[in-house]
Structure 1
Amino acid sequence: LFSWGRGLAIYSPVSVIGFAALFLSKRFDRWTKSLTAFLFLFFLVIHAKWSYWYGGWCWGPRLLLPVLPFAGLGLVHLFERADHRRIWGALLFGFGGLINLLAVFVPFSVFYQTAMVHGFKEEWLLWRRRYCPLLNHHELFASTQIEDYDFVWLGVSQWGWPVLLIGLFGLVLAIVGIRRVRRMVWLAETSNTGEKT
């Protein structure tokens, strides 16, 4: 959870905030909190016992990924109560995007290969702040020529393009759907307010 190389607190602090909000909130019942705690601890213990608990050469705590959506429950509750939701949303989205863009533009394996060539030990990359991939990956990003960036869509085969386009279409559809639902909720709330007055 707190490893410099794979820690959830380092690579996804938003998830930590979401989990804290979930457990501190009175909105969620005991069953939801218990199930979330059980699943999180189950994944954590199972992977902690494994010799490759860190998931090999990867970016962040990839083996905890299946339980991270539960952090979203707490984040939803926070956003419902927060003032300046758009500002907080933009900050969280920007911060999360920045962390992930570093890994997307320069392949994570390049960082590991560079570290191994210089004689770094793998445990240094996991536990020492000085060798933290997240804190050092920006140097590779800055030294890489623009044509060397690892844009996923540049290496896509002929069958990859339809998959990429379907994924992008799904993303656009989801955004449009969320906006429509929010508008419908807003209209329903304003009409209910108008009826009461």
Structure 2
Amino acid sequence: FNGQLWSSGRGIIWYAPPLLLLPAGLWLFRSRDPHVALLCLLMALSHLLLYAKWVAWDGAGAWGPRFLNTVLPFMVLPLAAFLETLRGWRTPGRTSLLLAVVLLAVPVQVAGLTINMNAFFSATRSAETSYYRIADSAIVGHLRFATRQLRTLYNLHVAPNSVVLRDGFDYSEGRPAQVPRWTLPAATIAVRAQSFVAAVTLALDSCAVQPGPAQVTLEVGQQPLVVSHQPCPPRSYHLLVPSKSNTVRLGATAWEPSAVGIQRDGRLGVLLRH
């Protein structure tokens, strides 16, 4: 019961902060239409009590307490009585309270809409911990992911002397670090030089490619710098990237891990170590 209401990972209050005003709304609504107010209260309580007794009360892989979605309209309806008291903006205290809970709701909705919930579920270590510790909750986790995305966008489009793996890369082998990770047969790295030239070092390794080392091609802008070279043993390539040519394109001979008995889908290129 408490988990559906108050827990930081699944509590409806965390995912819909305006419901903090529900007690006041019910109190005001009962004087206007006591039967509808009672119906709203009973609908909410019946669902809370029903799913509180179920083993999977949390609703598993979902954003927030999904079992309460069906009764959310009944929980929101009494808030209309609270809003009615704000008519004419002659109640600054209540208006400030309403604005506060609405502002609390904004980051929650942004977190839920901008980040795929599977990203959080794949990264979390314990469901129990994520339900009862604010720092490990889905809301905080999604906000962390959103912050990383904003940082990536900043690095890609704004920050000087930044190097961003733009596209053509597989998942990181050293999570949460960006590298090492495999490239796809064609990859692009974005570089923003603070001055006229940026120095970039790429450590590539094609020794693990089967049946043999991959051929690598590196281009800065439209200019080929390295053509058909095999970085095996691993080799570091030191590149000077002019500010006008702010991309490094990396091409590699494609190979399929699944074709040589490795349980990994897709086609890969070479391993970017750093």
TM-score normalised to the size of structure 1?
0.62
Following TM superposition, by how much is the alpha carbon of 1:137 offset from its aligned partner in structure 2, in angstroms? 1.8
Following the alignment from structure 2 to structure 1, what is the Cα–Cα distance between the partners of residues 49 and 97? 33
Question: Does 2:96 align with 1:96?
Answer: no
Q: What is the CA deviation profile of residues 9-43 of structure 1, one whole-angstrom value per residue up to 9, with x for unaligned ones?
A: 211120231x2123211533331222112111111
Q: Does 1:111 align with 2:120?
A: yes
Q: How does 1:134-153 map to 2 (within 5 A)?
A: 134-144=139-149, 145=152
CA contact (8 A) 1:11 1:99 kept: yes
What CA RMSD, in Å, does the superposition of the two structures yield over aligned residues? 2.5
Query: CA offsets, 1:79-114, max 9 Å, x none?
Result: 221226988776655543321111111111101101
The aligned runs of 1:56-71 (5 Å cut-off) are 56-71=60-75
- 1:8–1:60 CA contact under 8 A, matched in 2: yes
Identity of aligned residues (%): 24
1:73 aligns with 2:82: no
Matched, 1:50 2:59: no
1:23 and 2:26 aligned: yes
Deviations 1:55-78 (A, max 9, x none): 112111221111111233222212
Q: Deviations over 1:148-178 (max 9, x none)?
A: xxxxxxxxxxxxxxxxxxxxxxxxxxxxxxx
Is the Cα–Cα contact under 8 Å of residues 26 and 79 in structure 2 kept in the other structure? Answer: no
- How far, CA to CA, are the matches of 1:16 and 1:70 in structure 2? 14
Q: Which residue of 1 aligns with 2:135?
A: 130
- 1:5–1:133 contact (8 Å) kept in structure 2: yes
CA distance in 1, matches of 2:121, 2:36: 39
Structure showing the higher helix proportion among its residues: 1
More strand by percentage: 2
Question: Normalising by the residue count of structure 2, what TM-score does the alignment of the two structures yield?
Answer: 0.46
Match of 1:153 in 2: none
Counterpart CA distance in 1 for 2:96 and 2:141 is 28
Q: Give the letter for the 2:105 counterpart.
A: G
Greater mean alpha carbon deviation, residues 78-87 or residues 97-106: 78-87
Q: Tell me the amino acid that sits aligned with residue 20 of structure 1.
A: P
Alignment length (residue pairs): 142
Q: Which whole-Å CA distance do the structure 1 matches of 2:32 and 2:139 have between them?
A: 33
Tell me if the contact between 1:16 and 1:71 (Cα under 8 Å) persists in the aligned partners.
no
Larger Rg: 2
Structure 1's consecutive aligned runs of 4 or more residues displaced over 4 angstroms after TM superposition are 84-94
Distance 1:62 1:28, change over 3 A: farther
Structure 1: distance between partners of 2:127 and 2:143: 19
